[in-house]
Amino acid sequence: MVFKAFKTELKPNNKQKTLFLKHAGCARVAYNWALGLLKEDYESGRKELKPNAYALSKLLTQKKKTDFPWMKELSSTVPGIALVNLETAYKRFFKTKKGFPQFKKKGKQDSFTLRQSIEVFDNKIRLPKIGIVRLKETGYIPLGKPKSATISLKAGRWFISVPYEVELEKKQYNDDTLGVDLGISSLATCSDGTVIKNVESIKLYEKKLSKLQKKLARQQKGSKSRENTKRSIQKVYFKITNIRKDILHKTTTLLVKAKPEGTIVIEDLNVAGMVKNRKLARAISRIGFGEFRRQIEYKSDWYGKKLIVADRFYPSSKMDHKTGEVNDELTLRDRVIYHADGTTTDRDLNAAINLKNYPAGLAGGGDERFIGSKAPRCSSVKPKENRKEEV
């Protein structure tokens, strides 16, 4: 059993927008109030207050009577869920020793979660303390009574995410294997020859974003024109994010549906190390390699696909898929692989074919044949000057 979330835009009226903002403020106030207590205890070294959502909720109930009486008008589940989220973030910090929870700011990541008395209709949804709100898409969210719903504000637009519990069917995998190589010039190249190109429109919005940011830097702080520019920047950011998510969702869904009950092999890319290269950082961030892997992992479960992540040391790009020899002299400039029989293969397609032929038993465990100097080396390499001309 897994949870599958359905997210769509809402069409609230002015009264409902006001209630949304009040609930988002309620979640923010509860989160910040509890974080203040935890931070004070953490810095002083006291162990009196444990990061327990239940204990914090009891304290907040008393606090409502004196400092937050306006919370009584809103759904009681909102502050409770905010405290649960804080407990999760606080425990994660102690586990990883990274990322101490930060105070939430008004206007940034405004969201709240509701529980109980939620019902989805064809083009509407009933929310507690808010009423019936229209949905922008008809028939997208399944009808029923979900256990929770998260409402968030993005660039002046309200969205709702509703999770449903879905039971996955167990399937028998066949021998159909698809190798997928991620790249810079094209988003993905498949071992069957399919090439998925990047969306060039992102670059246009990035130029627009750069102009707006320069304009913002020249404007006086606190002025109305500066606030208008900020809103414009938020809208452009939101547009870029949507374009990136759209192409990634379409690509990952296409791949997992390509061969029913088959296998997909992808690379274990060191994204954190790759973005340190200033020449590639922007392109890698624009594509979203990490998000690609996240999506294809959970969608493989949804659609009954077997996913194999090739070992990071597997030389898929530098290895000749016909002979298995590795060319150490291959650089990022070289976009063609020259074979001993005189034929050539596109570099990305060659990598995808190598991934398709990846030994399934090596996934995640590594293989000494492909690490360091033990990898088989290519003895015949195309002269560099000739390769540059043909590229």
Query: 255 with 298: CB under 8 angstroms?
Result: no
Q: What does the DSSP assignment read for 175-214?
A: S-EEEEEE-SSEEEEETTS-EEEPPTHHHHHHHHHHHHHH
Nearest-Å Rg of the Cα atoms of the chain is 26
Q: Where are the beta strands (DSSP E) in the chain?
A: 2-11, 111-115, 119-120, 124-127, 131-135, 148-154, 157-166, 177-182, 186-190, 195-197, 263-267, 306-310, 336-338, 344-346
Catalytic residue, from 87, 311, 320, 348: name it. 348
Active site (annotated) includes residue 320: no
For residues 208 and 211, give the distance between their C-alpha atoms in angstroms, rounded to a whole number: 5
Active site (annotated) includes residue 267: yes
Active site (annotated) includes residue 9: no
> In degrees, to the nearest 5, what angle opens at C-alpha 133 toward C-alphas 130 and 137?
150
Catalytic residue, from 87, 267, 311, 320: name it. 267
Give how far Cα 26 sits from Cα of 22, 81, 161, 206, 298, Å.
6, 11, 19, 35, 32
Catalytic residue, from 87, 110, 181, 325: name it. 181
For residues 249 and 225, give the distance between their C-alpha atoms in angstroms, rounded to a whole number: 36
Sequence-ordered list of residues with C-beta below 8 angstroms from that of 62, at least 6 positions apart, any chain: none
Residues carrying an active site annotation = 181, 267, 348
